[in-house]
Chains A and B, each alone.
Chain A
Amino acid sequence: MAISVDSSTEHRLEAAERLVGKPPQSRTRFSWETFLTYLLLSIGAVIMVTPFVWMILTSLKPAAELVQFSFLPVNPTLDNYVEVLGTNSFGQWYFNSILIALISTTSVAFFDTLVGYTLNKFEFPGKTIIFLGILATLMIPTEMLIIPWYNMSVQLGWHQGTMQYWGIVFPGVITAVGIFLMRQFFDGVPNELLDAARIDGMNEFGIFWRIALPLVKPAVAALCIFNFIGNWNAYLWPLIIASSREFYTLPVGLSFFRGESTTQWEKIMTGASLATIPLLIVFILFQRQIIKGIALTGIKG
């Protein structure tokens, strides 16, 4: 019997479900081994979380408290937030980041599922070559494309004015990873169901939209969450294409803000908190779906 990670989707679904599911509760007696396991895991968890705790604590301290070392703020204050939000374009950057993540996620959710569905459920000349042509683009690193993209954008005027939004968003409106993923998930939709709808006279788009798509909703949700996070955090391309301050996304804005604040750490940590806290909230809300999605697909956000 051969065992490999790429076993059937069902098997993986089950394993992913088990991963986030509650394990059977049983009272275990105290043992040094269990104690040591928890101790090691706790030390690791403290290392993972401390930077974020320290970031938020620092953002709540007045500047004077940074040099006289104390872990918790002595006089906690929200002044840093008021000042950073008031004197900078953080509000605008928030808006840009949300807008861009929403546009790209909506587009990805529609086109990736539509193409994945077509490549799974239809037979047509050129299918293999089209599939391989899409799959092969996964081998090309983004870094190699930024120079051509920039040249194209300059020629088409996508690096100026409101077109910058389009300039930032266009490389990510359809993704090969998502298509590949959705193509696999449509395996689970029985062909008989689609044929029955055809006999009832439903058109092909209706069959995709009203019958097939609702059956893969969890996969679409995972795709959307990853895409949203990925776009929210994207840095290199937005840094290159956004030429004026009003069109920066949060990471780009934060990077320039840092350049201006040099060593005012309480301000920099406030900016970092502003960029991080929305994602921490998204993560806490969708934690199970995110982890299950990663276990299931093995794909990075």
Chain B
Amino acid sequence: MKLTLRRRQILWAYLFLSVSLVFFITIRWYPTLLAFNISFRDWNVFKGAGDWVGLANYADIWEDFFKPRSAVRAAFGNTLRYVLFGVPLQLALALSVALLLVRIRQLAGFFRAAYFVPFVTSAVAVAFVWNWLYAPQVGLINQGLKILGLPMQQFLRNPDLALPSITVVAVWRTIGFAIIIFLAGLQQIPDIYYEAAQIDGANRWHMFWRITLPLLNPVIVYLAVLQTIEFLRMFDLVQNMTQGGPLNRTTTVVLEVYNEGFSSYNMGYAAALTVILFGLILAITVFQLRVLSRRVEY
């Protein structure tokens, strides 16, 4: 039988896709459904599939949420705090640095690299380096405070300072990424607009609010969504800096998933937590896209 060219093309296409289709079905889609399934069961990995318990795991989370000193409530509350402090701080700082960087001619490459370095390094290594910087008494930051005549701080051991201290590290670690995206966005704004505004007598301040910011809006939305998701998934830094302490003041949803699922092997409960996290990520993404993405037409 002789195949037509079109038939042959279709066969080649399916051949090229075959391995990847098996991968996406077995390693992505099936586990996604399995995650929902596990969240409705009393599941222990070493005993295999457990009994169907309906919404019992979700009910347990709901109940735990209102217990005194609840780790789950702390986890959700802290995760929200990381997002609310971290994302605006990072975007504001990154935009400021990007606006400074587009103005200079010499050494631009050097500065870009310096701001970007932490992004490529391991979060675990970074966590330990900052543990050492934050160390009581002998840490570099406390030594600096001493020289300046300021009171020394306990940072990660102080329940009120621990979460902000970790947020600073998280912002520091990924700010380079945001700077590069802002720089790329800034360079796509045609100079014509600024020249026209200058002729009309607009000052810098006006140009920033009327031209730069509105035209950067899509970039800001993109980064806000991406970084919010990143902060919602906080784990590496927290687990290696404070293990969620002191007094659960830094624990996160993913850290609770890890503790419940892989220390207590309470996997149904942990799976239910991840389903809630998934719902949160989905909701926030849709919300931010709706609210923030007003199109700018010129």
Q: Which A residues are within 8 Å of any B CB, using their own CB?
A: 1-7, 11-12, 15-16, 18-20, 23-26, 28, 34, 37-38, 40-41, 44-45, 47-52, 54-55, 58, 66-67, 69, 111, 114-115, 117-118, 122-125, 127, 130, 133-134, 137, 139-152, 154, 170-171, 173-174, 176, 179, 198, 204-205, 208, 229, 232-233, 235-236, 240, 250-252, 254-255, 258, 265, 268-269, 271-272, 275-276, 279-280, 282-284, 287, 290-291, 294-296, 298, 300-301
CB atoms of A235 and B236 under 8 A apart? yes
Taking the nearest CB of chain A, how far is it from the CB of B252, in angstroms?
Answer: 10
Alpha-carbon distance between A144 and B185 when the two chains are bound, in angstroms: 32
Q: B14 on the interface (CB 8 Å rule)? A: yes
CB atoms of B104 and A124 under 8 A apart? no
B-chain residues with CB within 8 Å of residue A37 when the two chains form the complex: 100, 103-104
CB atoms of B132 and A295 under 8 A apart? no
Say whether, besides A123-B9, A174-B23, A251 and B122 are in contact (CB < 8 Å): yes
**Of listed B32, B110, B122, B135, residue having the most chain A CB within 10 A:** B122
Say whether, besides A254-B125, A291-B112, A15 and B100 are in contact (CB < 8 Å): no
CB atoms of A265 and B125 under 8 A apart? no
A-chain residues with CB within 8 Å of residue B101 when the two chains form the complex: 41
Taking the nearest CB of chain B, how far is it from the CB of A133, in angstroms?
Answer: 7
CB atoms of B185 and A5 under 8 A apart? yes
Taking the nearest CB of chain A, how far is it from the CB of B272, in angstroms?
Answer: 10
A-chain residues with CB within 8 Å of residue B16 when the two chains form the complex: 114-115, 117-118, 122, 204-205, 208
CB atoms of B35 and A148 under 8 A apart? yes
CB atoms of B105 and A295 under 8 A apart? no
CB atoms of B29 and A145 under 8 A apart? no
Alpha-carbon distance between A134 and B212 when the two chains are bound, in angstroms: 35
A-chain residues with CB within 8 Å of residue B218 when the two chains form the complex: 4-6
Alpha-carbon distance between A134 and B27 when the two chains are bound, in angstroms: 12
B-chain residues with CB within 8 Å of residue A295 when the two chains form the complex: 180-181, 183-184
B-chain residues with CB within 8 Å of residue A283 when the two chains form the complex: 113, 116-117, 120
Kindly specify which of B84-92, B149-157, B276-284 makes contact with the partner chain: B276-284
Query: What's the dominant secondary structure at chain B's contact region?
Result: helix
**Of listed B120, B126, B297, residue having the most chain A CB within 10 A:** B120
- Contact among B32, B129, B254 for A54, CB-based, below 8 A: B129
- Contact among A4, A44, A296, A300 for B295, CB-based, below 8 A: A4
- Contact among B100, B116, B185 for A41, CB-based, below 8 A: B100
* A-facing residues in B1-50 (Cβ within 8 Å): 5, 8-10, 12-14, 16-17, 19-21, 23-24, 27-32, 34-35, 38, 43, 45-46
A-chain residues with CB within 8 Å of residue B180 when the two chains form the complex: 19, 291, 294-295
B-chain residues with CB within 8 Å of residue A127 when the two chains form the complex: 13
A-chain residues with CB within 8 Å of residue B274 when the two chains form the complex: 141, 143-144, 146-147
Of all chain A residues, the one with the shortest Cβ separation from B12 is A204
A-chain residues with CB within 8 Å of residue B107 when the two chains form the complex: 38
CB atoms of B45 and A52 under 8 A apart? no
* A-facing residues in B226-266 (Cβ within 8 Å): 226, 229-230, 233, 235-236, 239-240, 254, 257-258, 261-262
Of all chain B residues, the one with the shortest Cβ separation from A67 is B138
List 6 A-B pairs, minimum CB-CB distance, nearest first: A148-B31, A295-B184, A148-B34, A122-B13, A272-B125, A144-B274
- Contact among A34, A45, A125 for B115, CB-based, below 8 A: A45
CB atoms of A154 and B10 under 8 A apart? no
CB atoms of A137 and B121 under 8 A apart? no
Taking the nearest CB of chain B, how far is it from the CB of A175, in angstroms?
Answer: 10
CB atoms of B117 and A280 under 8 A apart? yes
CB atoms of B105 and A25 under 8 A apart? yes
Q: Per-position contact with A for B162-191: 1 when CB-CB < 8 Å, else 0?
A: 000000000010011100110111011110
Alpha-carbon distance between A252 and B124 when the two chains are bound, in angstroms: 8
CB atoms of A235 and B122 under 8 A apart? yes
19 contacts across the A-B interface (CB closer than 8 A): A2-B297, A4-B295, A12-B188, A28-B105, A38-B104, A111-B23, A115-B16, A122-B10, A148-B30, A148-B32, A204-B9, A233-B123, A235-B124, A235-B236, A252-B124, A255-B240, A280-B121, A283-B113, A291-B180
